[in-house]
Amino acid sequence: MAENVPKRQCFVGLFDILGFSDIVRNNKLEDVWKTYSKIKSSASFIKDNLESLFKRKIINIDNFSDTFLMYTSDYSNMGQEHIDECFNALLGVCDALFHSANTNGIPIRGAITVGELIVNDGIHLGKPIVEAYEMEHKQDWIGCWICDDAIQLISKKLLQRHMDENLILKYKIPFKGGNIMDCYVFNWVTLPFENDYDYGMLRVKSGHDWSAERKHLNTRDFIKFITSSLQNK
């Protein structure tokens, strides 16, 4: 019966590989699988380490085709410390995902949301997934947007610590259509970062696909912003 299906309050991270259809069409399927497996394995490695540290299951990773879906354990009826632990675990796995994707030449983009979720019998349902998908789709860069509800749920002390460390920051996210909005974002940039990077399997070249090139130009702007911010500290 539907009323017996367990619900959870949790943080959700949803990430898509950009240009995935072109990657599949233009590369050997075995090579794509190997690269994809490396990215997932890196995220899973951090997940396993965190669960060993906390001695409990704290985060889940599911994937289908070009989408990685992550969601934390249920924080309902739990204290602030548990909520902050869930959020930190998700950030840790997101960091591993971005680092591995960058290392393997794969551009990804995503969002972090929060709310009620049903995960049962292979079915994933909930507003956080819908909101994360919508937020991911609006952005026009390689990056990760964090929703305001998630920011408001974690402790002020944790938020300040992450902002002091430049792990979370306010940034004017570039949206499709040319709009921008000042939002909280996850800083995935690991310094030193190559100024002239090229995402191997995608091979974007200026003038061939302006929509893809624009994403890379917007991403370069973010990398320059991070580099400048750290140099000025």
- What's the pTM value of the predicted model, to 2 decimals? 0.89
pLDDT tens for residues 112-156? 999 999 988 888 999 999 999 999 999 999 999 999 999 999 999
174: helix, strand or coil: strand
Q: How far apart are CA 107 and CA 199, in angstroms?
A: 7
Mean pLDDT of 68-86: 93
Does residue 200 surpass a pLDDT of 50? Answer: no
Omega cis (within 30) before 6 = no
Which domains occur in the chain, in start order? 2-231 (3.30.70.1230)
| Contact criterion met (CB below 8 Å) for 139 and 128 | no
Q: How far apart are CA 74 and CA 82, in angstroms?
A: 9
* HSE-up of residue 109 (Cα within 13 Å, Cβ side): 21
pLDDT band at 210 (very low <50, low <70, confident <90, very high): low
pLDDT band at 3 (very low <50, low <70, confident <90, very high): low
Which helix (H) or strand (E) segment holds residue 8: the answer is: strand 7-17
